[in-house]
Amino acid sequence: MDDPVDLLPDDKLKGVSRRNFIKGVIAGGVAASSANYLFRASSLFGQPPGQGDRLITLNVNGQLRRVDVAKQETLAWTLRYKLGLTGTKLGCDRAECGACTVLIDDAPHYSCSILTHTVRERKVLTIEGLAKPNGTLHPVQRGVIDEQGFQCAFCMTGFIMSAVGFLKTNPNPTRLEMAHGLSGNLCRCQDYDKILTAMMRGAENMRKAQDV
């Protein structure tokens, strides 16, 4: 498979180290501009805003976001194509793979299987909201860098969000417990052992951060 860095045009690659490039992907779950996805939203969803859409307010990553949503619109769709938060991935789009996992009131959920209007008044956290405003990565994101986890990383943001949610209920899991906690997430590259090692390192990073 092509290295993602190899796919960058030469002029963009100048001054961007591989490490910083990967760090950017882990922080936002996306390396490319979201403009294309926002453009696609209007054509794919098949109806212009204002026809059947309702303006609602969502609490996403600590910000109140006003957005037009249709009654049948899923949270994954709204996040990616209306709010430009493309770190949340769409894999199966039917509650099987976990790529779309976000936290809702601190608990992991498949955003492809939740209607957006049902999460009004609730707090939604996506991968873009995990790092601190000053750019400091979340300890679980740090664990991915420490262990060089993931191959293609399509499943990465879902695993990270699931792990962050799981660690809120069990901050000191065994490897087996962590595996059970992440059992709702699938990796098409089948890189499970490495992913588990990275998530365990993330758990360790979290405990160390709380001890400081």
Q: Give the interface segment with ligand FES, choosing from 1-9, 29-37, 115-123, 149-157 (CB under 6 A).
A: 149-157
Count of residues engaged in binding ligand FES, rule: CB under 6 A: 22
Q: Spell out, one character per residue from 175 to 204, where the chain touches ligand FES: x when CB under 6 A holds, - when not.
A: ------------xxx-x-------------
* Residue 49 or 117 having the CB closest to ligand FES: 117
* Residue 52 or 164 having the CB closest to ligand FES: 164
The reply on whether position 151 binds ligand FES by CB under 6 A is yes
CB atoms within 10 A of CB 37: 17
* Residue 131 or 189 having the CB closest to ligand FES: 189
End-to-end CA distance of the chain: 41
The reply on whether position 93 binds ligand FES by CB under 6 A is yes
Give the whole-angstrom CA distance, residue 39 versus residue 43: 7
The reply on whether position 166 binds ligand FES by CB under 6 A is no
- CA 88 → CA 18, 49, 82, distances in Å? 23, 22, 12
CB of 201 to ligand FES, least distance (A): 16
The reply on whether position 100 binds ligand FES by CB under 6 A is yes
CB of 103 to ligand FES, least distance (A): 14
The reply on whether position 110 binds ligand FES by CB under 6 A is yes
- CA 75 → CA 42, 71, 126, 133, distances in Å? 16, 11, 11, 24
The reply on whether position 160 binds ligand FES by CB under 6 A is no
Site residues for ligand FES per CB under 6 A: 90-93, 95-100, 110, 112, 150-155, 187-189, 191
